[in-house]
Structure 1
Amino acid sequence: MAERVFITGVGMISAIGENVAENLRSLRLQRSGLGYTQYIDTRHRDVLPVAEVKHSTEELAAMADLPDVEGYTRTTLLGLVAIREALASAGIAPGETVPTALINASTVGGMCDTEKVYFDILDPQKEGTFLRYIDTLDCADCTQRIADITGIRDYVTTISTACSSSANALMYGARLIQQGLVDRAVCGGTEALTRFTINGFNSLKNIDKQFCRPFDQQRNGLNLGEGAAYLVLERESLALARGARVLAELSGWCNTNEAFHPTAPSPEGNGAYEAMRAALAMSGRTTDDVQYVNVHGTATLNNDVSEGRALQRLFGRNVPKFSSTKSFTGHTLAAAGAIEAIFSVLAIQQDMIFPNLHFSEKMEELDITPETQLTEEYPVRNVISNSFGFGGNNASLVISKYEG
Structure 2
Amino acid sequence: MSNVHLAGIGLACALGDDLRSSIESLRRGGVPPTSVAGADGIAWPVHLLEARGGDWTQRLRDTVREVAAQTGDWAERTAPLFVASSSLDIGFMEHEQQEKRLGGDLQDFACIVAESLDWKGPVFTVSTACTSALNALLAAADLIRAGETDEALVIGAEMGNRFTVAGFGAMQLLSPDGARPFGQGRNGLVLGEAVAALRLGSRPARWQLAGGANVVDGRNPSGTEASAVHAMCRGALAQGGLHPEDIDLIKVQAAGSPVNDAIEAEALKQVFEPLPPLVSLKPSLGHTLGASGAAELALLIGCIEGGAWPSVDYPLDASLGIALCEEAPRRLRNVLLNFAGFGGGHASLVLKDTSP
The Cα offsets for residues 306-360 of structure 1, whole Å up to 9 and x where unpaired, read as: 21112101112x21111211101111101111011113323443566x3353431
TM-score of the pair, normalised by structure 2: 0.92
Q: Give the 5 Å matches for 1:114-125.
A: 114-117=93-96, 121=99
CA contact (8 A) 2:249 2:329 kept: no
**Structure of higher RCO (CA pairs closer than 8 Å, 6+ residues apart):** 2
2:213 is matched with which residue: 247, 251, 254?
254
What is aligned with 1:53? 49
Q: Give the 5 Å matches for 1:9-88.
A: 9-37=8-36, 42-43=38-39, 47-58=43-54, 69=55, 72=57, 74-86=59-71, 88=72
The Cα offsets for residues 223-243 of structure 1, whole Å up to 9 and x where unpaired, read as: 1110110110001xxx25xxx
Distance (whole Å) between structure 1 residues aligned to residue 4 and residue 212 of structure 2 = 11
The SS at the match of 1:100 is: coil
CA contact (8 A) 1:73 1:136 kept: no
Note the C-alpha offset of 1:150: 2.5
The SS at the match of 1:48 is: strand
Which residues of structure 2 form unaligned runs of 5+? none
The SS at the match of 1:252 is: strand
| Counterpart AA for 1:79 | V
What is aligned with 1:164? 131
Mean alpha-carbon deviation: is it higher for 181-190 or for 148-157? 148-157
CA contact (8 A) 2:312 2:324 kept: no
2:191 is matched with which residue: 224, 240, 245?
224
The Cα offsets for residues 288-314 of structure 1, whole Å up to 9 and x where unpaired, read as: 222211111111122211211121011
RMSD: 2.3
| Counterpart AA for 1:233 | L
Identity of aligned residues (%): 28
| Counterpart AA for 1:188 | I
Which residues of structure 1 form unaligned runs of 5+? 59-68, 122-130, 241-245
Alignment CA distance shift 1:376-1:168 (3 Å): closer
Aligned residues: 356
What is aligned with 2:227? 270
Distance (whole Å) between structure 1 residues aligned to residue 64 and residue 304 of structure 2 = 25
Note the C-alpha offset of 1:44: 7.6
Note the C-alpha offset of 1:255: 0.3
What is aligned with 1:401? 353
The Cα offsets for residues 251-302 of structure 1, whole Å up to 9 and x where unpaired, read as: 1110001112221122xx1111211111012112222222211111111122
| Counterpart AA for 1:78 | T
TM-score of the pair, normalised by structure 1: 0.82
The SS at the match of 2:180 is: coil
What is aligned with 1:64? none
Alignment CA distance shift 1:355-1:215 (3 Å): same
